Structure 1
Amino acid sequence: MSKAVAAGDGLAAMVERGDPDRWRTVMTAPEAARPGLFALYAFNLEIARASWVASEPLLAAMRLQWWADAVEEIYAGRPARRHEVVEPLAATIASADLPRRLLDEMIEARRLDAEPPLIDVMTYVDHTAGHLMELAARHLGAEGGALPVVRDFGRATGTAALLRALPELRARGRTPLPDDIAPAAFARDGLAAHARARTHRDRVPASALPALLPGWLTARTLRLAASGDTALEPAPIVARAGLLWRASTGRWWS
């Protein structure tokens, strides 16, 4: 497991406000590992919201370039920018020896958010949810043969999340899925990735469980969507009960 990374309560509060589901999963991790997870999830929030807070694509691109430059500086060994997310992110990268490619591709994928539909939606899912889950798992000690399993589960989780978000995205004038990809077919692709991860679940160390728990609704969502169902959001109490069950049993793949 990587060394503890200093991060203030403000970072945890940022994740709690912007990504409450992942905040809950971080709280299942050992206390020493939580700051690094909060740093990764806060970074994801910052780049994910670029196209939503900017009034035009050029401004979104400028925000993302700022983050690309910040990451480049970290890996060049320059002092981290004085920013509430950049500084703990730099410490997390150093402590877990996280590969730069994953962060660079996450930023690049977010450039597509301002110009839907996505031409290669599976690559987008892989470079957003897949990369984020791999970074979190690496932070928690996953390596070697565990990483392809984590990536498959990350792809499945990202597919499920995008399907659950479709109604809101469409209401905001965004249509991320190309016209030739039906939601049910997209869900079946996610189920295939989920099946691969489940088959090789024994390769993932128990220490990485909190990194995979953000996918606690994945199997349910994908099965419903593959059947043509559009009511994908469970009642909050049901969703939280599912998270508690997976956290207590370690069955992240169910």
Structure 2
Amino acid sequence: MRSTGSCCVLTDDVIACAEIVRRADPPRFQAVMAAPVAARAMLFPIYAFNVEVARAPWVTAEPMIAEMRLQWWRDVLGEIRAGGSVRRHEVATPLARVLDARGAALLDDLIEARRWDIARDPFADEADFNRYIEATSVNLMQVAARALGPAEAEVIRDAGYALGLANWFRAIPALEAAGRRPLPDGRAAAVQALAADGLGRLARARAHRSGVSSAARPALLTLWEAGPVLRQARRHPRAVAEGTLGISAARSRLMLMWRAATGRW
């Protein structure tokens, strides 16, 4: 991470990033708001970047325009990796304060994976699907964690995959409505197997909580609903396509409050 005093201040740009996340990704917004203020200033630009990149392929029916939007963000990351001046933008400017070259490289891989959303081809197989989840979710969590403090890569990899899979399951009805084929195998048994794998990875990550420093823990608060969602998908795989995964708002708030207070993400 880059170490500057301004990176831990809730500047106007960071507040703008928070509003982007609040509108487009409420669960991550809630997780960040449960974190210390200094961590919020680091996390909101990263998650606002993710929002901008994730929605780029969907705001236009023209693949060329979508490619141009993604390329704009790749150019931003290139400027950050180069270590020189970075273009003025409400997300790019605070992002440059919290990313180093390695973090920029991880996010560049995330953008490359998002090109799947433009091509709209089905996943070739489960390995292809896993690569997408790893690039879009694991990379994001790695960047968020390393911006805050030390964390073992394997713990973040397992946690990030579990979160990515849970979020993907919840997005499947919208993806199918848009004409996509979001899973390499949508049969109930295959969904159950994926959910079981996600739960196994989540359990493995939590068994090694000590591998995540206290400073980096806020980056993993986004996991708070992953377990219940994956358990529901394993028990009732039809709920994935039906769009009925999730827990009550009251239970969700209590779970997040408990995990934030105890540090047991």
Q: Report the TM-score when normalising by structure 2.
A: 0.87
CA distance in 2, matches of 1:57, 1:118: 18
CA distance in 2, matches of 1:113, 1:225: 23
CA distance in 2, matches of 1:77, 1:200: 34
> Which 4+ stretches in 1 moved above 4 angstroms?
1-4
Partner of 2:232: 224
Task: Tell whether 2:131 aligns with 1:110.
Answer: no
Partner of 2:256: 243
1:208 pairs, out of 210, 213, 216, with 216
Partner of 1:58: 64
Distance 1:34 1:67, change over 3 A: same
- Structure 1 residues 111-130: aligned runs within 5 Å: 111-114=115-118, 115-119=120-124, 120-130=128-138
- Structure 1 residues 86-235: aligned runs within 5 Å: 86-94=92-100, 98-114=102-118, 115-119=120-124, 120-143=128-151, 146-179=152-185, 182-229=190-237, 230=239, 231-235=244-248
Deviation at residue 98 of structure 1 after TM alignment: 4.3
Task: Determine helix, strand or coil for the equivalent of 2:171.
Answer: helix
Deviation at residue 80 of structure 1 after TM alignment: 0.7
Which whole-Å deviations, capped at 9, do the CAs of 1:156-204 have from their partners, x for residues lacking one? 0100110111122212222211236732222122122212212212211
1:26 pairs, out of 17, 21, 32, with 32
8 A contact 1:28–1:247 mirrored in 2:
yes
8 A contact 1:42–1:85 mirrored in 2:
yes
Q: Which runs of 5+ in 1 are unaligned?
A: none
What do you get for the CA RMSD once the two structures are aligned? 1.9
Deviation at residue 30 of structure 1 after TM alignment: 2.3
- Give identity over the alignment, percent: 48
Distance 1:116 1:246, change over 3 A: farther
8 A contact 1:116–1:176 mirrored in 2:
no
Amino acid at match of 1:250: G
Q: Report the TM-score when normalising by structure 1.
A: 0.90
Which whole-Å deviations, capped at 9, do the CAs of 1:94-139 have from their partners, x for residues lacking one? 4xx6433211111101101121423311111111111111111111
Q: How many residues are treated as equivalent by the alignment?
A: 248
Distance 1:220 1:116, change over 3 A: farther
Deviation at residue 242 of structure 1 after TM alignment: 1.3
Q: Which runs of 5+ in 2 are unaligned?
A: none
